[in-house]
Structure 1
Amino acid sequence: MDLSGLKTIRIAACDMNGQMRGKRMPASLAGKLDSGAARMPVSALNVDLWGRDIEDSPLVFETGDADGVITPTDRGAVPMPWLKTPSALVPMSMYWEDGAAFLGDPRHVLADVLSRYTARGWTVLAATEMEFCLLDDSGPAPAPPADPLTGRKLDQQSVLSISELDAFDAFFTDLYDGAESMGIPAQAAISEAGLGQFEINLNHQDAMRAADDAWLFKALAKGVARKHGFATTFMAKPYAQEAGNGMHVHFSVEDQDGKNIFDDGSATGSDLLRQAVAGCLAAMPASSLIFAPHGNSYDRLVPGAHAPISAAWAYENRTAAIRIPGGSPKARRIEHRVAGGDINPYLMLSAVLGAAMVGIEDGMQPPAPSDGNIYEIEGLPQLAADWETAINWFETDPLIARILPQTAIRNLVMTKRQELAGFAERPPETHWLSWLEAV
């Protein structure tokens, strides 16, 4: 992006909750960013949902709250079309003074996982399905927005409704224009099963680019909604009686010759596909904290709420946590359907792809694929039933220790324990305000 003519830019790295942490600075200083001129405390990427330092964090007390060096990612600067004054965002990554990657930076965590694929000569491709709700946040509780054409609040589900999409045409036009300007490959948009809920699919591409796009898309959707007089939220469960927001991810792996390693020419896929599925299933319960990182997330993970709650897989079955879609064998891929819309996309892809790699490394074999309504099958391994259980499982699980760097595990656990205590001190009826746009 050409920064000439801009007065200011933003530089930001991703914290453990997926929030942007960084600075506003004169655009004239942009040329110095590649040299490591920008610095901020490494602890800035390990703050809680409200931006508070983590109590007793070793990042503060063992290092003296040392500065890290932040440098631009290979994404480069992108416009911020939701702002009135033209500006640009430069995505950044955090490094220690000696140049080592700070593994409390979620983007570095994903890079660490992807390096295991690169070592085999493999490239991971991924696509995300981004679900979100438009809502009116002016009252004491979340409420549906007004239909821009009628002025009346939405009052019912409208699955795959073209008229509901058209009612919000001005918003979606700005959203797609903004995505194009930011280099985000937004594909089809649909009206989903929840009240004021929509989904936009992002294109299948390099996994790191897919994570970048998901992170940037969240900021874009929230900013554009505010321009139109309402809010966008990726909260897992904005309304107790409505479908929640998920973020499904599809992924495949190509070898050095560009061949899909999950394709063996059959309808069932290769041995490597089944090994990857087995790894995803084995790590799924202890990964609950990644897929459901907030207290509100567990309101979505209940029977009959259109969200998987058990570790099961199947072919062409949308009640399964892991689905193998049909179609051409050349496009054989895995769809991981557990995560809520409130996740950190870098950590979510790290957990999924890291688990798949462990399954391949160990030659794991999955159980037989399930049939029918998987919500009704008893005896399957379950995801964590609540936030505190998820934190405890994640902290001590040996598979998680193989998938993610220890620094990332420690920092996420500290963050979530502090948030758990923080929400316990706040009136429950106000909790939604903390999650509304922060996730």
Structure 2
Amino acid sequence: MSSAMKNYLRKHPEVRTIRVAAADLNGQPRGKRVPSRFADKVVEDGTRFPMSVLNLDIWGEDIDNSPLVFETGDADGVLKPTERGFVPMPWLEAPTALLPIWMFREDGRPYEGDPRQTLKTVLDRFKEKGLTPVVAVELEFFLIDDSGRNLQVPISPRSIKRRKAAETMSIRALDSFDSFFTDLYDACEAMDIPADTAISEAGLGQFEINLMHGDDALRAADDAWLFKLLVKGLARRHGFAASFMAKPYEDYAGSGLHTHFSVVDKNGANIFDDGGPRGTALMRHAVAGCMNAMHDCALIFAPHQNSFDRMVPGAHAPSGICWAYENRTAAIRIPSGSSAARRIEHRVAGGDVNPYLMLAAILGAALNGIEDGVEPPEPITGNAYALELPRIPTTWGEAIDAFENSTIVPRIFSAELIRNLVSTKRQELFYMAELSPNEQVEIYLDTV
């Protein structure tokens, strides 16, 4: 792999600098800028920075009283390139390449507080059983003019007009920003991100792009993480902002990040496919596992103060814990269609999540259900928002408590990650309370 990485730079002599970056708990890229003539050393030996860097708050500050800081002398982790290798960064003016990295301890063991390592641990559990998740994600985001005091839809470069209305499934809305989407698809191709269909959504300037399904969930998380960096960076080149924050506009639906997944056995057969519309017992066990973990894992699906503005009844975001066949009001939907493609759609997460932690939570919970052989309640029919159902936590503080005190969460996440995430979110909860709603939006707009 290292020779392929070195060859990338030799084939692209125009690249003068590289970035090496890992995802922290909030999904923020943390790393270094390196002149390309020193890149071979990074490829061969990796790089180093403190383990605490993957455990910073949303402002990039150390966590108060974290054992990763003063208690251990702020010890370094060793960061090595992932199997992804170099990808271009088309949102920058100068030709630049990004080398995704992940963290290990000095003795070579994976660092348990690294979100990517967390997902890898869950996938290893599947592998031990001869199973492989097949995953696809749908990402919703807003294009925003944030140049004034209030957020609003950008002026269309084509019509030179600002349309202040939701335009669900509107071709006109897509065409209004055709130059942005053309550049975005070109950039996805250059970065090998499998971007598929784009649609306009129900919010002001809101769009959704689907990433194609594949049998490498770690790569799917990489794709989602890189896609978020790309969309936000490229929008700035076009003169406006893009944001995956859960709820930028009070009166319009927020942004979700929906996950579709099935599981195949060692022969490549979909273990959810019973040849008909209902799906197998194993599918129902996976549904039950996801439902059982949904309350306690709400902090993963709604990690920020703003996340909970999205999760209100009737706002196209699930608030009750339930499942259904072909019903988008349910938290878990079983789409119709060919039985060979029978799958689960998990609809709870907001666009502001860390994709690595989100997939770890969903797939880890599904595997718990498969291992335990648990049955879900009966699927609902009709409008889930109108039913009396067990509820996902409605406040950030409640979600933090549920995650910290859960008996289910430790089956999915390491004690190190649980401690780090809880400490991070308690610190953010404290300091966010000092900010006005506008100041909170300003923080989240560019970060998540």
The correspondence for 2:292, drawn from 277, 282, 286, is 282
Matched, 1:349 2:359: yes
What is the aligned partner in structure 2 of residue 217 from structure 1? 227
CA distance in 2, matches of 1:226, 1:13: 22
Deviation at 1:349, TM superposition (A): 0.3
Matched, 1:59 2:71: no
CA distance in 1, matches of 2:93, 2:200: 28
The correspondence for 1:401, drawn from 399, 410, 414, is 410
SS of corresponding position for 2:129: coil
Matched, 1:115 2:129: no
The correspondence for 1:103, drawn from 102, 106, 112, is 112
CA distance in 2, matches of 1:140, 1:390: 31
Deviation at 1:266, TM superposition (A): 2.1
CA RMSD in angstroms, aligned pairs only: 0.9
| Residues 28-37 or 72-81, more deviating | 28-37
Question: What letter corresponds to residue 229 of structure 1 in structure 2?
Answer: G
What is the aligned partner in structure 2 of residue 49 from structure 1? 58
| Residues 132-141 or 91-100, more deviating | 132-141
CA contact (8 A) 2:46 2:81 kept: no
Matched, 1:329 2:335: no
CA distance in 1, matches of 2:21, 2:91: 16
What is the aligned partner in structure 2 of residue 167 from structure 1? 176
Matched, 1:387 2:386: no
CA distance in 2, matches of 1:37, 1:183: 23
Question: What letter corresponds to residue 375 of structure 2 in structure 1?
Answer: Q
CA distance in 2, matches of 1:94, 1:280: 28
Matched, 1:270 2:270: no
What is the aligned partner in structure 2 of residue 90 from structure 1? 99
- In structure 1, the gaps of 5 or more residues are none
Deviation at 1:426, TM superposition (A): 1.9
Deviation at 1:417, TM superposition (A): 0.6
What is the aligned partner in structure 1 of residue 261 from structure 2? 251
CA distance in 1, matches of 2:178, 2:134: 31
TM-score between both structures, scaled by the size of structure 1: 0.98
The correspondence for 2:440, drawn from 428, 431, 434, is 431
Deviation at 1:223, TM superposition (A): 0.9
Deviation at 1:141, TM superposition (A): 2.6
Q: Deviations over 1:103-157 (max 9, x none)?
A: 1110000001111100011111100001000001112232211122222222111
| Residues 250-259 or 60-69, more deviating | 60-69
Matching of residues 197-212 of structure 1 within 5 Å: 197-205=206-214, 206-212=216-222
Q: Deviations over 1:167-205 (max 9, x none)?
A: 100000000000000000000000111110000000001
What is the aligned partner in structure 2 of residue 369 from structure 1? 379
Matched, 1:291 2:297: no
| Residues 24-33 or 386-395, more deviating | 24-33
Question: What letter corresponds to residue 270 of structure 1 in structure 2?
Answer: T
CA distance in 2, matches of 1:29, 1:113: 34
CA distance in 1, matches of 2:49, 2:188: 29
| Residues 135-144 or 330-339, more deviating | 135-144
| Residues 276-285 or 260-269, more deviating | 260-269
What is the aligned partner in structure 2 of residue 417 from structure 1? 426
Matched, 1:15 2:24: yes
CA contact (8 A) 2:318 2:329 kept: yes
Deviation at 1:64, TM superposition (A): 1.1
TM-score between both structures, scaled by the size of structure 2: 0.96
Matched, 1:76 2:85: yes
Question: What letter corresponds to residue 9 of structure 2 in structure 1?
Answer: L
Q: What's the % identity of the aligned pairs?
A: 59
What is the aligned partner in structure 1 of residue 40 from structure 2? 31
Question: What letter corresponds to residue 33 of structure 2 in structure 1?
Answer: R
The correspondence for 1:312, drawn from 312, 317, 322, is 322
What is the aligned partner in structure 1 of residue 245 from structure 2? 235
Q: Deviations over 1:336-372 (max 9, x none)?
A: 0000000000000000001001111111100011001
Question: What letter corresponds to residue 384 of structure 1 in structure 2?
Answer: P
Deviation at 1:37, TM superposition (A): 4.0
CA distance in 2, matches of 1:420, 1:151: 40
| Residues 136-145 or 21-30, more deviating | 136-145
CA distance in 2, matches of 1:237, 1:426: 17
- In structure 2, the gaps of 5 or more residues are none
CA distance in 2, matches of 1:133, 1:321: 22
What is the aligned partner in structure 1 of residue 146 from structure 2? 137
SS of corresponding position for 1:171: helix
Aligned structure 1 segments of 4 or more residues deviating by more than 4 angstroms: none
CA distance in 1, matches of 2:315, 2:45: 47
The correspondence for 1:187, drawn from 174, 190, 196, is 196
The correspondence for 1:3, drawn from 9, 15, 29, is 9
CA contact (8 A) 2:335 2:344 kept: yes
Question: What letter corresponds to residue 109 of structure 1 in structure 2?
Answer: T
What is the aligned partner in structure 1 of residue 312 from structure 2? 302
Question: What letter corresponds to residue 316 of structure 2 in structure 1?
Answer: H
Question: What letter corresponds to residue 420 of structure 1 in structure 2?
Answer: L
Question: What letter corresponds to residue 287 of structure 1 in structure 2?
Answer: C
Q: Deviations over 1:319-340 (max 9, x none)?
A: 1100001111111100000000
Deviation at 1:434, TM superposition (A): 0.4
